[in-house]
Amino acid sequence: MESYRIALFVIALAAAFSPLLARIPTRFRMPVVATEMLLGMIIGPHIFNWVSPDGLVGMLGELGLTFLLFMVGMEINLGEIQGKPLTLAIGGWFLSFTVAMACMSVVHAIGLIQAPPLLAAVALSTTALGVLAPILRDEGILNTDFGKMLLSAAAMGEFGPLMVVSMLIIPTHSTFLHTVFILAFVGITFVIADTAINARSSTLIDLLAQTMQSSGQLPVRICIALQALLVVLAGEFGLNVVVGAFAAGMVVGLASKGEGGMILRQKLDAIGYGFLIPIFFIVAGMKFDVSALWANPLVPVQIICLLGLLILIRGVPVILYYPVLASNDRLPFALYSATGLPMIVIISEIGVSSGLMAPDRAAVLVSAGMISVLLFPLLAERIRQHS
């Protein structure tokens, strides 16, 4: 227990220091999530070995991931991204996935990157919505037209791979039964959302309002319970648990519109971005095996190729956005969209645990995802500032 106390203190110190480090005036100011991962690398087992990402620390990291997707789901405003943004996002992701399958089939055939083409294609067609949302919020562009377009593209870049992983890569039942479970999960989510949105009981509303500023905090507890419920249901139905967290966030987002829900959102923000989410990024940094970067002479070449493929695969949909994006926003849009880590980590872990991917190949893939998070948002912001 003593070791966990020390580990939690070191992680808490890293989480507190990260925003300060991100505000140091430098030529390339890093986003907070990047400083969190860098500090995680420093305190982790691959550099100073002060903290190990297992046991209680690993569990808190997993909770941070689910809460991150929960908060991301809350950020999705279906009223703003429906219509053209949603149509472009869906078409753009399918275009990305098609290009990814073609590219990974070629590089796999020539032996440059030894990973199952489907797994690698899904990983490279992702966008780290959970990483981008706080970055876009901090940069003040989340609610701009550019931010809304990017948010819808990123949402599809998270949701599409989640569905492919859940339906094609990790089904735990027959195809028919698995499809039934997916439809059942979607149906249950819609019923919960409809119930939450149309709750008209004045007694219930009064009770929620009264406990919001007391030790009861009933609305917050209901949100946590809802997240836990949908995470459990997703796991039981053979889906990835982050699907449940994402769905719970969307339900809460729909039910907490307007000024009445602002206080609730602020409290959930404090729990997420003040506690659990920084732990996820720090633990992700701790898991990053720095030695994988020079374990094999081909590794640097493979990582550079993967970074190029990320930009190509997630940048190709920009051609669909030509009528709605300014010319100086297209490259930043591609770079933001190519930022990927959480789903890359999840897909890599699935590949290793199922025997479909060797651990060293997974490390290379995660390395590319880590570098994309550290580098691409910085470049995108820099380009937008000087255009």
Give residue 176's pLDDT.
Answer: 66
pLDDT 10s digits, 120-145: 888 889 888 777 877 787 778 877 88
Cβ(191)–Cβ(183) under 8 Å?
no
Query: Global pTM?
Result: 0.81
Give residue 60's pLDDT.
Answer: 93
CA 236 and chain centroid, separation: 22
CA atoms 344, 347, 349, 351: torsion sign? negative
CA distance 92 to 94: 6
Q: Residues 274, 376, 370, 266: what is their CA dihedral angle, to the nearest 10 degrees? A: 10
* The residue to which tokens 């190709």 are assigned: 316
Half-sphere exposure of 42 (CA within 13 A, CB side): 13
Q: Per the structure block, which two tokens stand in for 370?
A: 């880590």
Cβ(228)–Cβ(63) under 8 Å?
no
Q: Per the structure block, which two tokens stand in for 77?
A: 């405003």
Smallest Cα–Cα separation from 63: which of 370, 363, 288, 278?
278
CA atoms 269, 275, 278, 280: torsion sign? negative
Cβ(87)–Cβ(155) under 8 Å?
no
Residue ranges for the chain with pLDDT beneath 50:
none
Q: Per the structure block, which two tokens stand in for 188?
A: 């249950």
pLDDT 10s digits, 159-218: 788 777 766 655 555 566 667 777 787 788 888 877 776 765 555 656 666 777 777 788
- The CATH class, in words, for 57-275+289-385 is mainly alpha
CA distance 57 to 73: 24
